[in-house]
Amino acid sequence: MADFVLELKAITKTFPGVKALDNVQFQLKPGEIHALMGENGAGKSTFIKVITGVHPPNGGEMLLGGTRVDFKNPNEAKRAGIAAIYQHVTCYPDLSVTENIFMGHEKIHHGTKRIRWHAMHEEAQRLLTELGAGFDPKSQMGALSVAEQQIVEIAKALSMDAKVIIMDEPTAALTKRESEELYRIAEQLRDQGKSIIFISHRFEDMYRLASRVTVFRDSKYIGTWEVDEITNNDLIVAMVGREITQLFPKNVPRIGEELLRAEGLGRTGYFADISFKLHRGEIVGFTGLVGAGRTEVFQTIFGITAYDRGELYLKGEKVAIKDPLEAMKLGIGYLPEDRQKQGLVLDWEIGQNITLPTLDRFVTKGALDTDKEAAVAKTLAEKLNVKAKSIFDLVSSLSGGNQQKVVFAKLLTADLDILILDEPTKGVDVGAKSAIYDIIRGLADQGYGIIMVSSEMPEMLGMCDRITVMREGRITALLERAEATQEAILKASMASGGASG
Amino acid sequence: MEQRIVTNRRPFSWKSFLLQWEWMLVLIFIGINIMNMSLSEYYWSFDSLRDATMTFLDKAFIVLPMVLIIILGDIDISVASIVALASVIMADLYTMGVPMPLAMLICLAVGTLCGFVNGLLIVKFKELSAVIVTLSTMIIYRGIAYIILEDQAAGKFPDWFSFLGWGYVGPVPFILIVFAVFAAAFILLLHKTTFGRRVYAMGNNITASRFSGVQVDKIKLIVFTLAGFMAAVTALFLTSRMGSTRPNVATGYELDVIAMVVLGGISTAGGKGKMIGAILAVFLIGFLRYGLGLVNVPAQMLLIILGLLLIVAVMIPKIKLGKQGRI
């Protein structure tokens, strides 16, 4: 028996003009959960694609159980016992759970070639029970939550007798409770002798689960450590390549006049009794579990949907906002939660994206003045330090953090007083996160009133002057900076019974 | 590794300039003319080419707004029915004694109203796609035209009315002048105004457009209303050319128009394409028809050639993309 289930030596993968992996190594022990970390673009995804046979490497070798393997396609990797589970589950939403589990390796009657539905359902049920899932294998895949779909993917891996399971940012779309459930399953699999490669941006995931951690940076292997033996700071240095002295900027709020006041806002079926105040220069946080109604409240205030109860006051005057254009004219900007779907036109240039909300300003004699437009876009892109060759680069070519800076730039072209930032650092790596925190604090210092919606406890505590906690569409706590603690927020976001799973 | 924004100018490359689909259309257009010239000695004369444009330009008016609709990622298949309804109402009113100029204005108003109704239905009932809405109104508008005229012809318009379809200003056909004016207006609208930029934005990502303060419903409503108005313009010229009208006029125009737009390089997935491409496609198909008609190539053969051209038009951008996608 080899020491390692999976060992990769000196793997190099080049695409024309790009070295995506440069002499990278990796060792996976049997029955181990091994975290793989690195900033976006560090080469993690390419590495996974090499292991799963999507991209055959240009150099180096891969040993599975001590013998050399050369996968030419994903099917060979699957048959050899390697399975990958992705953050965005790649499933057939209209088919049943059973069909999804057995897709591509259905149980077939030897003589008649008929599909053995009964046996498949039974096997699926057995796998799901083993994983502690409560749903029926006959239910439709699309009707399940993301967390449940991931469990189905894990069941699929088990049904193919996978020895190595790769989880690519599985917790990114999960709530705290669902993440706990996933941790439990991962540990259960480990105890059964499976080996797991766990990719995540969350340090929490790594500390909770992994025994060892490997870090990649700029397509290179940086090192592997026992998790207990490396400090958080050293790990960040390994990932970023420089010391981030302080993740959150110093906070000296200068609170000014009242900008926005909500009184008893409600939308039937979504939220009720939402009252809060926002002042100039202040950052007010809204947190709570996913589904607590935070996004719904602020999309209503931005005019995407309508509220049916309560009143909204802007600088003391009552307003009714019918669409986003009016909200922006009144000085309210919104940075949406999903930057790819709601924030950007991915196939467009950086500059065109930046000016989309304020096109009317660049009109000379009825026509769009593209020189004027480019000048403004360039200034803003530089101000926010968007890393690109020019503002004519396509947004789709940028990393997540730089894409998010473009969405910020869109807000700065308008004359706004109030910025509503919905999960401003979602899917962004550590280095870019710190840059975005600086941007947000800078904007507050310039006199913007900022509402920050986030599920991430550390950034709530680090950034906000006040924190509002929501649960099931209602505000359950309003905490001043001094009294805000992780415990207090958790207590207010969980169900009143206190019990959670 | 700090990379800063360095250039202020849009990078220009001859390669991407020359690789545009519109150049391909120009080449095909030249090819068709050479082919036609070798097929028939009567083809290459100013008079006959000039007169040929008069026969195919009527539906070209609808091509212009259809470009906007397809860039939005939508489609309007009711345009031919709007032509019929507007034409029939104009003829019926004139027969009942309404003065012709007024009947013509009402024709334009009817078309505009039909387009507005399409737009309103599409905007108000988001769960219905534009295909379904305009399929329904296609049947309804045509149906109303049949109720009004009951499968008869109506006509006997005043003599001056035939000027629209047959008249010349100097050596240039009147219809060509009007088309040139509208074409210029639509090119400016799509490529030089904020409206056009917003149409492209919506075709690429309607959700992000909405979050960026683009009034998506308003723009959609305007675009579909424009299509109705331009269908009525077609009705004026078509009716003038034919001298009379029936409820079944312009049958199949919607497919011709959509084919011209797609051949012009406008992606049915939305968000991409240029107005000039569709205008080139109008002349390309028109001259191809005329040339092959001169040498008595059967109409069916012509359809096959058009079909092949369309497949090429749809495939070319995919081939280009495929190469880039491989990194």
Complex-level ipTM:
0.86
Q: What does pTM read for this prediction?
A: 0.78
Percent of chain A with pLDDT over 70: 94
Look up the domain containing B221 and give its range: 51-252
pLDDT at residue A434, as a whole number: 86
Q: pLDDT averaged over chain A?
A: 87
Give bridge partners of residue A168 from the DSSP assignment: A86, A199
**Mean pLDDT, residues A310-317:** 92
Contact call for B208 and A352, based on CB within 8 A: no
Bridge partners (DSSP) of residue A196 are A33, A165
B122 is a domain residue: yes
Assigned domain for B153 exists: yes
**Token digits of residue A168:** 């690519």
Q: Distance, in angstroms, between A430 CA and closest chain B CA?
A: 16
Highest-confidence segment of A425-439, A456-470, B86-100: B86-100
Euclidean distance between CA atoms B68 and B81, whole angstroms: 19
Asked if residue B294 is part of any domain, the answer here is: no
Neighbouring CB atoms inside 10 A of A112's CB total 8
Q: Which fold has domain A6-240?
A: Rossmann fold (3.40.50)
Q: Do domains A6-240 and A244-331+415-501 have the same CATH topology?
A: yes
Compute the average pLDDT of residues B63-83: 97
Contacts of A499 (CB under 8 A, 6+ apart): none
Q: Spell out the domain ranges in chain A.
A: 6-240, 244-331+415-501
Q: Over 80: is that where the pLDDT of A244 sits?
A: no
Render pLDDT for B30-59 as a digit per residue (tens, 0 to 9).
988 898 888 888 777 888 888 888 889 999
Range with the lowest mean pLDDT among A235-239, A269-273, B187-191, B208-212?
A235-239
- Which has more pLDDT, B137 or A270? B137
Coil, strand or helix at A471:
strand
Looking at beta carbons, which residues of chain A come within 8 Å of B324? none
Judge whether A253 is closer than 8 Å to chain B, CB to CB: no
- Please give the pLDDT value at position B106: 97
Q: What pLDDT is attached to residue A201?
A: 74
Q: Please tell me the distance from the alpha carbon of residue A436 to that of residue B108, in angstroms, as a whole number.
A: 54
Residue A466: name the closest of A264, A297, A255 by CA: A255
B contacts of A396 (beta carbons < 8 Å)? none
Q: Is the model's pLDDT at A290 over the cut of 80?
A: no
Q: Which two tokens stand for residue A277?
A: 């105040």
pLDDT tens digits, A437-472:
989 999 998 889 999 999 887 888 888 999 999 988
Which residues of chain A make contact with B188, given a CB cutoff of 8 A?
367
**Res B61 pLDDT > 90:** yes
Cβ proximity of B42 and B240 under 8 Å: no
Q: Inter-chain contact B204–A347, Cβ cutoff 8 Å? A: yes
- From CA A76, how far away is CA A95, in angstroms rounded? 25
Please tell me the total count of domains within chain B. Answer: 1
Judged by CB atoms closer than 8 Å, whether chains meet at A348 and B1 is answered as no
pLDDT bracket for residue A241 (50, 70, 90):
confident
- How buried is A409 (Cβ within 10 angstroms: 0-12 exposed, 13-18 middle, 19+ buried)? buried
CATH superfamily of A244-331+415-501: P-loop containing nucleotide triphosphate hydrolases (3.40.50.300)
Q: What is the pLDDT of residue A501?
A: 33
Measured in whole angstroms, how far is the alpha carbon of residue B67 from the centre of its chain?
A: 7
Q: Is B168 helix (H, G, I), strand (E, B) or coil?
A: strand
* pLDDT tens digits along B1-28: 345 565 566 777 777 777 788 888 898 8
Residues of A in contact with B220 (CB under 8 A): none
**Whether A336 contacts A343, CB under 8 Å:** yes
Which one of B1, B5, B187, B209 would you mutate to disrupt binding with A, by most A Cβ within 10 Å of its Cβ?
B5
pLDDT at A127 over 70: yes
Hey, are the CB atoms on B10 and A374 less than 8 Å from each other?
yes
**Per-residue pLDDT reduced to its tens digit, B192-235:** 999 999 999 999 999 999 999 999 999 999 999 999 999 999 99
